[in-house]
Amino acid sequence: MKFVQIIDYKTARFDDVNAVMDKWVEQTQGKRTTGHAVTGKDRSDSNHYVDIVEFPSYEEAMKNSHLPETDKMFQEMVALCDGMPSFTDLDVVREEQLNAATARRFFHEIAAGGNLDAIGEVFADDYIDHDIASEEDTEVGLEVIRRDLTMWRGAFDVTFELDRQITQGDDVVTLWTFSGRHKAEFQGIPATGEQCTITGTTIFRFEDGKIKEGWWHMDLMRLMRQLGAL
């Protein structure tokens, strides 16, 4: 079970605290078990800070705490704080990464499922598309997605397997596997009936809960070989 620790403290010397943390990150390379950490500053009290530190489990958090570098870092941090920091230990019982869920909705419901009416719910009106396989390096608008999906779905029985997904900030990266029977003309190639499979990676940048920008990379050379074009 994922574990989160919240550290609440006050300091007038945050830059020094930050330097202590940077040193700890460098010294614990390859040893620490921290998965993700966020520091927030109280808007109503400029000396009030909260650290949210994420671990794979409580047991991994304890391993991290028992590192000698962690103990030294904590002692230095306390010396820079106004009083003793407080700790809250939390077992994560629910976690949702909403942007990642929206990206999955695109692949499953829209691209594979064919619900093109949902494009406007998922993509921003001024969506920016980057596709290295396209003649136009950059295109703008919802019709880009609608046009491309109509082309692919018309030529193949589209299915997607999402192999891996990584989120960072406003970006969601999806490693996917596309499969489909070549049932109609595609880029001048008549239907072959071949069952084709290719892999690719898509990066979606989100803004206000919708996909604002996308970058597409896929193994089109492999697809052309399967269609007998190479």
pLDDT for 139: 84
Domain with residue 48: its CATH number is 3.30.70.100
137 shares a domain with 56: no
Tell whether 168 and 186 lie within a shared domain.
yes
pLDDT given for residue 96 in this prediction: 73
User: Which tokens belong to 203?
Assistant: 């990066």
Q: Which domain holds residue 67?
A: 3-91
pLDDT of residue 227: 86
Residues 136 and 29 in one domain: no
Asked if residue 109 and residue 20 are part of one domain, the reply reads no
Q: Quote the pLDDT of residue 33.
A: 87
Tell me: do 128 and 202 sit in the same domain.
yes
Last residue of a domain, one of 72, 91, 110: 91
Same domain, 62 and 46: yes
180-206 core/surface letters (b: 16 or more CB in 10 A; e: else): bbbeeebeeeeeeeeebebebebbbbb
Q: Is residue 144 located within the same domain as residue 200?
A: yes
What is d(CA 217, CA 156) in angstroms, rounded to the nearest whole number? 19
Clarify whether residues 116 and 34 are in a common domain.
Answer: no
Integer Cα distance of 181 and 193 in angstroms = 6
- How many domains would you assign to the chain? 2
Note the pLDDT of residue 115.
Answer: 96
pLDDT digits (tens, 9 = 90+) for 101-151: 999 999 999 999 999 999 999 999 999 999 877 766 788 999 999 999 999
CB 9 within 8 A of CB 81: yes
Residue 84, CB-side half-sphere exposure with 13 Å CA sphere: 2
Among 91, 125, 143, residue at a domain's last position? 91
Q: Which segments of the chain have a pLDDT < 70? A: 135-136
For the chain, state the CA radius of gyration. 24
Shared domain for 83 and 113, answered yes or no, is: no
Q: Are residues 57 and 157 in the same domain?
A: no
Secondary structure of 124-188 in HEC code, one letter for each residue: EEEEEEEECCCCCCEEECHHHHHHHHHHHHHHECCEEEEEEEEEECCEEEEEEEEEEEECCCECC
Do 108 and 75 reside in the same domain of the chain? no
Domain end call among 28, 59, 91: 91
The phi and psi torsions of 159 (rounded to 5 degrees) equal -135, 150
The predicted pLDDT at position 185 comes to 92
Q: 108 and 132, same structural domain?
A: yes
CATH number for the domain harbouring residue 130: 3.10.450.50
Contact 82, 12 (CB under 8 A): yes
Q: How far apart are CA 128 and CA 141, in angstroms?
A: 7
Angle at 100 between CA 96 and CA 106, to 5 degrees: 130
